[in-house]
Amino acid sequence: MNYPTRILSLGLASVLATACGHPDSTSAASADPRAAAAQAIAAAHAAASSAITNAAILDVCALISLADAESVLGTSAKLAEHAKNDKHASHCQYDVVDQSRGFNSLMIEIHNDENVAEATSGMAMHRQMYASDAAGNVYNYAALSGVGDEAFLATNKVPEAVLAQMPDMLQDQQMLFFIKGARDGNLITSYSGKPRSSDNLKALAQKLARHF
């Protein structure tokens, strides 16, 4: 008779029976499919949050070319500022080469937020800041579609009388804010002269959002 083999088999069976037939409360909780699913969901959320928080900040100057900036500014430009080493943000500024007719620049900044909720909350604060009623009716405010998850454009309101009398002396701004996932971005162009189309600024924001 093969006693050693039989004893080993009985021993394994006993261990399995104990583990499966008489679990303690901790084992029972982990064996519950609903508890297991809840744990898996919590782990997935934690992993996603960690990935967002630790995501490398994008270098905005590497994403927006000089030609892109010139399409917005309407003339020859140069890189004026480049900040890419901040843990949470990247900043880029282009100025026109010829400033004889006034200051003309494009500033672009992107941020890593802690999570989607923080990005959404920040967007709500910007919206409140620039929406016409909240901002004392000094900005033209327009929600935009097709740029990230949410976007809006704010431009200075210029009185018609001032525009007619001093069109070349006006200092105007176009400010575009958007979010996508847990990142947010803003593009601000400041220029002298008559109001200009914002189409190229919107196209540039769409290009930037595609990298998020």
Domain boundaries, the chain: 3-53, 60-209
Residue-level pLDDT at 125: 93
Contacts of 18 (CB under 8 A, 6+ apart): none
The pair phi, psi for residue 56, each rounded to 5°, is: -65, 140
Mean pLDDT of 133-151: 86
* pLDDT tens per residue across span 55-83: 677 899 999 999 999 999 999 999 999 97
Identify residue 141 by its one-letter amino acid code.
Y
Q: Can you give the pLDDT at residue 18? A: 44
Confidence tier at 8 by pLDDT (50, 70, 90): very low
Average model confidence (pLDDT) for the chain?
A: 77
Whether the Cβ atoms of residue 195 and residue 158 lie closer than 8 Å to each other: yes
CATH of 60-209, one of 1.20.140.10, 3.40.50.300, 3.90.980.10, 3.40.1000.70: 3.40.1000.70
Question: In 3D, which of 38, 107, 33, 36 has the Cα closest to residue 69?
Answer: 107
Task: State the pTM of this model.
Answer: 0.69
Mind listing the pLDDT tens digit for each residue in 158-204? 656 555 555 555 578 999 999 999 999 999 999 887 778 999 999 99
Whole-Å CA distances, 136 to 3, 14, 115, 140: 93, 79, 31, 11
What pLDDT is stored for residue 192 in this prediction?
A: 83
